[in-house]
Each structure stands twice: as C-alpha cells, then as structure tokens.
C-alpha cells in the first residue's frame, strides 16, 4: 500500500481523450480476446473499471439487443462521458453506474464479468477478482485484460521515446503498482480461488507510427505532475510544451517499428 494516488494518469478531459486514442489501437485486439473468452450474443455483462466506456461500447455491440452491459467506475465525470458516447451511438443495451471496486452490487447475477486495464491500478487485485466473481452465475465467464508495460519499445530505439516510457513505468512503481500485470493474471486468478485461466497475448504494432508515438508522449505528459511530485523526475526535466514536437522529429529522423504494450487476456468459467 502507498499514500500516493492510485491512478498515476490522473482523470481529466485530456486523459479521457488520450484513453480514447489508446482504445482505438487496442479495439480489434480486445474484440478478439473477448471472443476467445466466450463473450457472445445475448449475454448480460458487467464491465468493471469501465472509464469512458470504450470496452462497454464494444461489449454492447457484441452482446446485441438481446444482451445487456452495465459499466461501473468510481469517477462520476468520466461516466458522464461514457453515457454521452453511448447515447450518440444509440446503444440502448448499455448503462453506467458509479461504484468503487470491490463494492459493486447487482440485482441479479450476470453471465460474465469483464475488466480491461483496471487490475494494474488496484492495490488488491486478487480481492477485486474474488469479489466480482461472486456476481457471476454458475457456468459464467470471468475475463480480465491487462498490460505488460515494460514491453513498450521502438526498434531501433528512439532515445526520447525510450525515456518517456521509462518515466511512466517509474511512476507506476512509485505509486506501488506492479508492472507487467498482464503476465501476473494467471497467478491472480489462482490466488482469487478461480481455476487457472486460459491466456492469449496481443501486441499492436501500428502502421500509423506517429499517432502511436504521440499517444505515448501524451501518456508521459499526463503522468508528469505525479512524476514531479513523487520525485521520479525533477521539475523542468521535460519541456512539456515541446515534447510532442520533439518526439515527432525523432521519429522522422529515425524510421522504426513501434511496439505498444502487450495486452494479455485471461479467462475462466465458474463451475456450472
């Protein structure tokens, strides 16, 4: 446990937009991992740590009008954004409510619990998995997806981008988070009393490298207040006003492949 804020990338309109960009890079991979986990038409699904609703919206499309999705998040402001997005897409089978994990209650059991990129931010991921699993009917699905953040890289390495990635990871460590939560999912499921999950890994390597590099730079900018407050960097180490332009220039001068964080999916079914 730590006195530092749990969420290093603090909630803001800027961070909500950055998350939307990140979600677009992972949308296809998330769909595939959800399909492998057994999420399908007609299911009632709980999406925990839903944020601005990216995964909830994907789930609503997967389960269709005969299914339903409830997204829960602790942040009321980000839920307003999620509701607005769902309304604009005319998705009547998804609703959102405020709740702080693990304190989620439902009127009836669901067919599946889904969580993407939430366990890495929690001080007790095992307790949360155990708690939300109790909301799933017998034979239902529990599936989580999370990052291996130390795998983010460019090849050949871009020095400024590499430093940005390292600082964000140092912030996660300073906040008491364990890096590479994705590769810990198997153990977390077992510690929560669930059967050892099946696993799959997806690694986006975007064709639009500039957008990927900019998104990674924006991640650093979002984390920068925490980095300075916690002593990960000294104030003034980064020129925030010019960072994105310098990253773009670095990419222009050194063509490379960009590998975003590995997204690990883990899933299991409760005994029927």
pLDDT band at 13 (very low <50, low <70, confident <90, very high): low
pLDDT greater than 90 at residue 121? no
pLDDT band at 226 (very low <50, low <70, confident <90, very high): very high
Q: Which of 6-10, 21-25, 187-191, 258-262 has the lowest mean pLDDT?
A: 6-10
pLDDT band at 162 (very low <50, low <70, confident <90, very high): very high
Mean pLDDT of 99-108: 95
Q: Which of 143-152, 192-201, 219-228 has the lowest mean pLDDT?
A: 219-228
Length of the chain: 272
Q: Which two tokens stand for residue 104?
A: 């989620």
Show Cβ contacts of residue 188 under 8 Å, excluding neighbours closer than 6 positions.
119, 125, 126, 129, 144, 181
At 37-66, the pLDDT tens digits run: 999 999 999 999 999 899 999 999 999 999
- In the prediction, which pLDDT does 1 show? 29
- In the prediction, which pLDDT does 177 show? 86
pLDDT band at 18 (very low <50, low <70, confident <90, very high): confident
pLDDT band at 253 (very low <50, low <70, confident <90, very high): very high
Paired strand residues for 199: 266
The vertex-20 CA angle with 64 and 124, nearest 5°, equals: 85
pLDDT band at 3 (very low <50, low <70, confident <90, very high): very low
Rounded distance between C-alpha atoms, residue 6 and residue 207, angstroms: 33
Write the DSSP symbol of residue 235.
Answer: T
Write the DSSP symbol of residue 51.
Answer: T
Paired strand residues for 71: 47, 96
Show Cβ contacts of residue 140 under 8 Å, excluding neighbours closer than 6 positions.
109, 110, 111, 112, 113, 269, 270
Query: Following DSSP, what letter does each residue of 73-140 receive, concatenated?
Result: ES-HHHHHHHHHHHHHTT-TTEEEEE--TT----SS-EEEEEEES-GGG-S-HHHHHHHHHTTEEEEE
Q: Which two tokens stand for residue 110?
A: 């669901």
> Phi/psi at 247 (nearest 5 deg)?
-65, -40
pLDDT band at 69 (very low <50, low <70, confident <90, very high): very high
Kindly provide the residue ranges of all beta strands, DSSP E only, lying in 117-246, ordered along the sequence: 136-148, 153-155, 198-202
pLDDT band at 5 (very low <50, low <70, confident <90, very high): very low
pLDDT greater than 60 at residue 171? yes
Q: What is the mean pLDDT of the chain?
A: 93
- In the prediction, which pLDDT does 8 show? 73
Mean pLDDT of 106-115: 97
pLDDT greater than 60 at residue 6? no
Q: Is 213 helix (H, G, I), strand (E, B) or coil?
A: helix
Mean pLDDT of 72-84: 93
């Amino acid at each position: 446990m730590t006195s530092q804020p749990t969420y290093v990338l603090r909630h803001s309109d800027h961070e909500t937009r950055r998350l939307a960009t990140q979600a677009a890079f992972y949308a296809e991979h998330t769909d595939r991992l959800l399909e492998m986990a057994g999420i399908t038409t007609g299911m009632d699904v709980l999406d925990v740590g839903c944020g601005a609703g990216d995964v909830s919206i994907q789930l609503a499309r997967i389960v269709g009008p005969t299914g339903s999705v409830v997204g829960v998040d602790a942040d009321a402001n980000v839920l307003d954004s999620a509701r607005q997005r769902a309304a604009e897409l005319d998705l009547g089978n998804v609703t959102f409510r405020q709740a702080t994990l693990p304190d989620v209650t439902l009127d009836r059991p669901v067919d599946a619990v889904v969580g993407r990129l939430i366990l890495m931010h929690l001080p007790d991921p095992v307790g949360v998995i155990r708690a939300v699993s109790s909301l799933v009917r017998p034979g239902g699905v529990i599936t989580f997806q999370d990052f291996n953040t130390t795998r983010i890289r460019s090849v050949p390495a871009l020095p400024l981008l590499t430093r940005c990635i390292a600082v964000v990871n140092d912030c996660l460590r300073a906040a008491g988070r364990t890096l590479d939560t994705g590769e810990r999912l198997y153990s977390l499921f077992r510690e929560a009393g669930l059967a050892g999950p099946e696993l799959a890994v997806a690694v986006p390597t975007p064709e639009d490298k500039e957008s990927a590099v900019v998104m990674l730079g924006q991640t650093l900018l979002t984390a920068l207040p925490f980095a300075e407050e916690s002593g990960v960097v000294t104030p003034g180490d980064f020129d925030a006003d010019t960072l994105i332009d310098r990253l773009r220039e670095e990419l222009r001068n050194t063509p490379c492949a960009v590998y975003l964080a590995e997204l690990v999916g883990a899933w299991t079914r409760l005994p029927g």
